[in-house]
A and B are shown apart, each in its own frame.
Chain A
Amino acid sequence: KQEVTQIPAALSVPEGENLVLNCSFTDSAIYNLQWFRQDPGKGLTSLLLIQSSQREQTSGRLNASLDKSSGRSTLYIAASQPGDSATYLCAVRTQGGSEKLVFGKGTKLTVNP
């Protein structure tokens, strides 16, 4: 059974800092991995999707890496801004045809001005 863990559960940083969020998964046989952003009481916004054959994806100040063999992914946020404050969720889609996404509990990020 696939399990996804995100560390830390919460993180508070001053504006302008670079930061890393961590995600680990127990079954390395994944189809892809996604990072989402969730604002309080809101739905999810997809940030980056990494296919199992890829090592990283970049979008603006965000960079996500994937090490499938070790079951790890990181989300790097450069030059953080107060608007980046949200909960960041990691989700994996396991191989085998199922479209099921398995989510971590998320990391709640607060960027202080």
Chain B
Amino acid sequence: GAVVSQHPSWVICKSGTSVKIECRSLDFQATTMFWYRQFPKQSLMLMATSNEGSKATYEQGVEKDKFLINHASLTLSTLTVTSAHPEDSSFYICSARALRRMPSTDTQYFGPGTRLTVL
């Protein structure tokens, strides 16, 4: 149980285009999803916290107008990178917290990540 998927797994786009990344909890409902970004040889950095039915909360330094987050249902959150530029190239990972606490942990369940390359 507790599987989180991301789509696409990788994407290459031209500078100036927008890219949408989906994060789905497959076998549980998630009221809260988190979006992280990981640059090479760097730690994961939280970008924003996404709550179902409400606006996302962005971390300091993350442009909310550039990284649009929509948490439309209890199993789906999307991250749209608008007008992407080469400096946005990174590994984007989402995680989800279950609506009902899993019996043994208080953990976030992570997706496999999406590799974004902006040319």
Do A and B truly interact? yes
Chain A contacts to B: CB under 8 angstroms: 4, 32, 34, 36, 41-46, 49, 51, 89, 91, 99-106
Chain B contacts to A: CB under 8 angstroms: 4, 6, 32, 34, 41-46, 49, 59, 91, 93, 95, 97, 105-113, 115
Complex interface: chain A residues within 8 A of B6 (CB): 43
The A-B contact count (CB < 8 A) is 53
Chain B proximity of A8: nearest CB distance (Å) = 14
Chain B proximity of A110: nearest CB distance (Å) = 15
When the two chains form their complex, are residues A49 and B107 in contact, meaning their CB atoms are under 8 A apart? yes
When the two chains form their complex, are residues B32 and A34 in contact, meaning their CB atoms are under 8 A apart? no
Complex interface: chain B residues within 8 A of A46 (CB): 105, 107, 109-110
When the two chains form their complex, are residues B113 and A42 in contact, meaning their CB atoms are under 8 A apart? yes
When the two chains form their complex, are residues B49 and A100 in contact, meaning their CB atoms are under 8 A apart? yes
